[in-house]
Chain A
Amino acid sequence: MTSSVSKGCFVFKPSVKKRRKTPTVEDYFTHGSEDTENSKLRFRNCQTLWDQMKADTELLQDELNRKILDSLLAFIRKNVSTFQRGTDDWASRMRAHEIPTAALVLGVNVPDHDMTFQSLSDQLQQSVTPFVVSVQATECAALNHMIQRVLERLMGTTVSVDDEEEPERCSTNVNQKRVHCSLITLCNWYKTVTKIAASGTPGKKRTSVGKDMQQHPPIVVIFKDLEAFNPRVLQDFILICSRYVEQLPLMFVFGIATSPSTIQHMLPHSVSSLLGIELFQSLSCTQHLASIIDKVILTYQFPFKPSGKVLQVLVSIFLYHDFSVRNFIKGLQLALLEHFHSQPLSVLCCKKEEALVHATELSPRDVERLQQLPSFMRYVEEQGPQEQVELLTSDDHVKEVCQKLLKDLHKYHKNYYPILRCLHVLTASLPKYPLGKQIRELHICCLEKNVWENEEYASAMQLLRMMAKDELTSALQKCAEILKHGKAKKMRAALLQLDNLLAKFEQPDDVAAAENVAGEDLTSQGKGRQKKTDLFQLQKTLLEMKKSRRTKKMSHFEILRDQALEFIDSLVRSHLAPPESQPLYEVCYYSSSAVLRRHLNATPRTSIQTALSNPYHYLKNENLRAEDGTVSNAAPDICIVYKLHLECGRLINLYDWLEAYATVVSAAEGKDPDSADFGKVDELKHARFIQAVSELEFLGFIKSTKQKTDHVSRLTWGGC
């Protein structure tokens, strides 16, 4: 095979069988764990769970986008029909010179927009027109690039190969490209394409387009990020397009991140008067986030739960940094992956039935892990001595108990979320939002500790005790609505009780007057609790209330109100305990927020500074271990140079720096401090120094300056 006369190189591709398998995600996941079976199982758990979560969030996002997309589509369709009707209609004739433009305000989280635009162009292509182009600012630095992009995408995607028109990207035939790169080409192309469609040639894409659209499907140009476009280019493009508006049914969609007034900032009147702009406002991203959290986190459907701290990290990244729902979901995915990767017992983190099966199949090693869980140990301590021995010695018994505990955990979740929602419904409308405006705040609060021990909870309860009848009943009715969806037995019982209470609220006062006596003892209780409050206004009203109480007895409504709140309070106390109180909660809850923060909110500068000032942190070399603030003289050159530069002012004399460096390095070499060549600069040291300094320059700590010869300037402040 290689017996060729001439000399040469021969490439032997490995045969397919021999080729080493590229590691899959699963391999990465299981890599380094001693128990492959277990980790494979965990990986599968993780995958199924994530797939489900992803599908759910995508569905939700589609739903959220639907409204704005529908109105956009309606707008475009309407304009298509006016174009086709031609100049019959007076109003549309008067507007014939305007290019219909939809200004789509999407919010500042630019990375999230891609998805919206994708579904917009998909839907447009499905139902309105095959001619949809999206352009981004980065690809349109100059006018000709922009026109080229638009032409390329329009004609390249829909023109079949046997057409005379060639896609524009051919770089070999520059002449032809130049000839075609104008809107005249587009006009001609459009005419031929629509003619073909009209004459009934079986087009692949056109068959899907509705009948009335066949004549003149509009050309929709989507500007994804309007702010980033060069205003000059955009203006010229619009001017050119407006010259062809009679021949080409053009339409624009502007994706706006900030506010619609950007259009006025970017386009002068002479240009904006060519556009008929209509405004579309999308859902705010905070609402979007709230619905995602509602769907994915505040549900017992998914066994995986982020702990309060983790959730806080994710939410704060969202609120403080990026407003990006996509990043939030990615962060959640990371938490999920980390949980399944780092917690061997997460095999039990799946659907109830599967979890019970997995519990019976636990390996001895896993049982040992289970016994070491803090929550399980707490549980053991609460048991009688006989049971304790059993739990510590018998694996089978542990498995049995484990199943029971898992069932309990599922029950806990089933009760937790409806009650959480009820509490939120009741407290969300209170003045100053003592328990948070958003349900996620309440949720985090409940995850951290016993919510009823919070001062805010007490004050919320106080405020609730002063609610008017109609407000309270409507809130309670909402609660009943929520509880209806609960499937657990306890929830049904609670619903029954609540319905009873509501029915009593409906009774007219005088009918129930007889029952008043029964409520007497409750009244005194209520008084006792009311004293705790700290709000000034509250105190005032309470004082007034007390005064009035002295004179007259509590009304029927007041007694009922107290009863209702008593009931709610008991529900909260029995079901909203933090998950830490539940045995085996570690199986479902991911709590290492620090890991998550390190991954999601990276601090490159801190890392560099740590590496430079404390090389041991990354290198783990015992020689480099040093006390705080000092650097061992055996450290890498750049660390020594960095340390020395911290001692300097804004301008650093290079020669002094070199001298100091040479001294340190000489000490590291173990030279005698008294010898003549101690600290002497030889070529090697010089070279090492220069390298270290240029590395520092590359990292952005210093730069050369013209202010003083042989000096460099520092770019960081602070130091030693």
Chain B
Amino acid sequence: MAAQRQHQGYEDEKLQRVMERLPCRDVQASLLLALMGEPEQCSYPSIFIYGHRATGKSHVIHTLLKELELPYATVSCVECVSVGLLFEQVLLSLFGSDSASLLSRSPSLSDFVRVYKQLCVQASSKQTRYIVLDRAELLRDMEANLLPAFLRLQELVEDNVTVILLSEIVWDKFRPNTGCFEPLLLYFPDYSKGELQQILSEDSHPSYSPELYSAFINILLGVFYSVCRDLRELRHLAALNFSKFVEPLEQGKVKEGDTHKLWRNIEPHLKKAMQTVYLREVSSVQWEQQLQKEEKEAGAVRGLSAHAHVELPYYSKFLLIAAYLASYNPARTDKRFFLKHHGKIKKTNFLKKHEKTSNHLLGPKPFPLDRLLAIFYSVVDSRVAPTASVFCQISSLVTLQLLNQVGHDDQLDAPKYKCAVSLDFILAISRTVSFDMVKYLYDFL
């Protein structure tokens, strides 16, 4: 409570509520409060807050500003496809609905400053105004003067305003070449295991005791903490697995206090969930259904990645195979693979030096359409007329993202492509048409 006493100008009751809603972030919150000072005191022009995802950056800021009833505007920079939209949203939330109409059609920064000043005079307030820019890293991609200007907006508009930037990236990556006003940096560290435990335990199930939920979280963290410290992901996992955890309780097999039995029951499920952590392969609902199904027929967990098989028309398969060969074999080796009397070419003396590294490590190389078709005609086992449908298939493979079109010049005469599928995928495809892929791949010679 010592921290709270320092923050003059706010009601104690409100402060109390704020602190309750910000578990494990007392230090950061009180630091921020100290920086903000009393509502009417002039505040520091810009504060830069960074930290990993789900470390409570936006949550702390929003709770503070909202609960203390300060005038503020929050804008997510993702949403601002144009600068105008950004200005507009700031003005809208600071000065009410009419303010945006004062902006011109495609406002520049100076327009914004002018309008801001104008509105400031009309609605003068002594309280510090706050502008929160979420995902501030996107500001770098907008106009070059935007970031420096926001950093010293206080000077520009001559108003008591503080800009708070939120980002997952460190400040060093922001600093423009031309230099700028240095904001105050505030780091939000990752939650520790104990803190995660405390936070996760808060959303306990209404029909069970908080202690039980806390015990569950304890087990969950014991399993997942080594691989995943993302609060959001952990919360997702908790929501997924809790119903399974309490199943024996509902059936009346185990009492609430018997944590050991509960642990024995949930452990295999958590292990299974471990395979798909972070993948979000299936929704929570489907996960639950799968668990039920598995009890009947013990099968592996089938997520999104289990359905990697793609059904393709016959020639599309061969086109894809040809594209893969063209992408991963050096063009000079085509003769070796696709001519009948190629003679013997030994790998070692045939190679240039840089080709000795595996092509699969280097990734796919672009190839012209001609080469694709030449390989296609030699791998496909029957005579294929060069019909319009074959060319159609190439472009539909491009739209399916199985091939990528490279480069933009000369699309009419000699388009170039890259194969965008993995080795496993192409092996599966070639198996369905009984084509021995490995025999034709230079890397596996």
A interface residues (Cβ-Cβ under 8 A, vs B)? 90-91, 93-95, 98, 100-101, 103, 105, 107-108, 110, 142-144, 147, 174-175, 178-179, 181-184, 225, 227-228, 236, 239-240, 243, 257-265, 269-270, 272-273, 275-279, 281, 284-286, 317-323, 601-606, 700, 703, 715, 717
Contact = CB atoms under 8 A, between A and B. Distances in A.
Contacts of B385: 601, 603, 606
A601 B53 contact: no
A270 B280 CA distance: 10
A328 B85 CA distance: 49
A319 B313 contact: yes
Interface in B229-254: 232-233, 235-236, 238-239, 243
Contacts of B106: 178
17 contacts: A94-B236, A95-B284, A107-B311, A108-B310, A175-B105, A178-B105, A179-B101, A184-B89, A227-B400, A236-B78, A258-B401, A273-B233, A278-B286, A285-B311, A321-B315, A321-B392, A715-B370
Contact of A108 (B82, B88, B396, B413): B396
A260 B304 contact: yes
A606 B390 CA distance: 13
Interface string B393-420: 1001001111000000010111000000
Closest 8 CB pairs of A and B: A94-B239, A260-B304, A321-B389, A276-B283, A144-B81, A320-B314, A278-B283, A227-B401
A273 B280 contact: yes
B309 interface: yes
A590 to B, nearest CB: 21
Given A278-B285, A715-B414, A264 B311 contact: no
Contacts of A606: 385-386
Given A95-B239, A321-B389, A604-B388, A263 B315 contact: no
Nearest to A177: B105
Q: How large is the interface on B (under 10, 10 to 19, 20 to 34, 35 or more residues)?
A: 35 or more
A281 B130 CA distance: 49
A278 B79 contact: no
B401 to A, nearest CB: 5
B167 to A, nearest CB: 13
A320 B319 CA distance: 11
A108 B400 contact: yes
A700 B413 CA distance: 6
Contacts of B278: 269
A322 B310 contact: no
B100 interface: yes
Nearest to B279: A264
A265 B396 CA distance: 18
Contacts of A321: 313, 315-316, 387, 389-390, 392-393
Nearest to B74: A243
A58 to B, nearest CB: 24
A142 B385 CA distance: 39
Interface of B: 53, 76, 78-79, 81-82, 84-85, 88-89, 100-101, 105-106, 203, 205-207, 232-233, 235-236, 238-239, 243, 278-286, 304-305, 307-316, 370, 385-390, 392-393, 396, 399-402, 410, 412-414
Given A269-B280, A700-B413, A142 B81 contact: yes
Given A276-B283, A321-B389, 18 more contacts: A95-B284, A103-B304, A108-B316, A178-B106, A182-B85, A225-B399, A228-B399, A240-B78, A259-B308, A275-B280, A276-B284, A279-B304, A319-B313, A319-B314, A323-B313, A601-B388, A603-B385, A715-B370
A451 B275 CA distance: 54
B399 A603 contact: no
B308 A243 contact: no
Nearest to B305: A261
Contacts of A270: 53
A604 B389 CA distance: 10
Contacts of B100: 179
B26 to A, nearest CB: 25
Nearest to A609: B386
Given A93-B203, A320-B314, A603-B385, A178 B307 contact: no
Contacts of B53: 270
A352 B126 CA distance: 93
Nearest to B390: A321
Nearest to A145: B81
Contact of A259 (B81, B310, B316): B310
Task: Please indicate which of the listed interface residues B236, B370, B401, B410 has the most CB atoms of chain A within 10 Å of its own CB.
Answer: B401
A94 B203 contact: yes
Nearest to B397: A108
Contact of A276 (B84, B285, B396): B285
B387 A261 contact: no
B244 to A, nearest CB: 12
A3 to B, nearest CB: 50
Contacts of A322: 313, 389, 392-393
Given A91-B284, A258-B310, A275-B280, A227 B399 contact: yes
A90 B216 CA distance: 15
Contacts of B389: 317, 321-322, 601
Contacts of B305: 260-261, 264
A698 B53 CA distance: 55
Contacts of B311: 107-108, 284-286, 323
A605 B401 contact: no
A227 B309 CA distance: 15
Nearest to B402: A258
Contacts of B414: 703, 715
B100 to A, nearest CB: 6
Contacts of B285: 276, 278
A177 B127 CA distance: 33
A183 B401 contact: no
A144 B82 contact: yes
Contacts of B393: 321-322
A107 B396 CA distance: 12
Nearest to A275: B280
Contacts of A110: 396, 399-400
Contacts of A285: 311
B235 to A, nearest CB: 7
Contacts of A182: 79, 85, 89
Nearest to B104: A175
A243 B400 contact: no
Contacts of A100: 283
Contacts of A144: 81-82
A499 to B, nearest CB: 38
Nearest to A277: B283
A142 B81 CA distance: 9
A713 B371 CA distance: 16
Contacts of B206: 90
A242 B284 CA distance: 17
A94 B315 contact: no
Contacts of A262: 401
A420 B431 CA distance: 32
A262 B310 CA distance: 11
A709 to B, nearest CB: 20
B283 A715 contact: no
Contacts of B307: 105, 259-261, 279, 281
Contacts of B308: 259, 261
B402 to A, nearest CB: 7
Contacts of A260: 304-305, 307
Contacts of A179: 88, 100-101
A228 B401 CA distance: 7
Contacts of B76: 239-240, 243
A72 B345 CA distance: 57
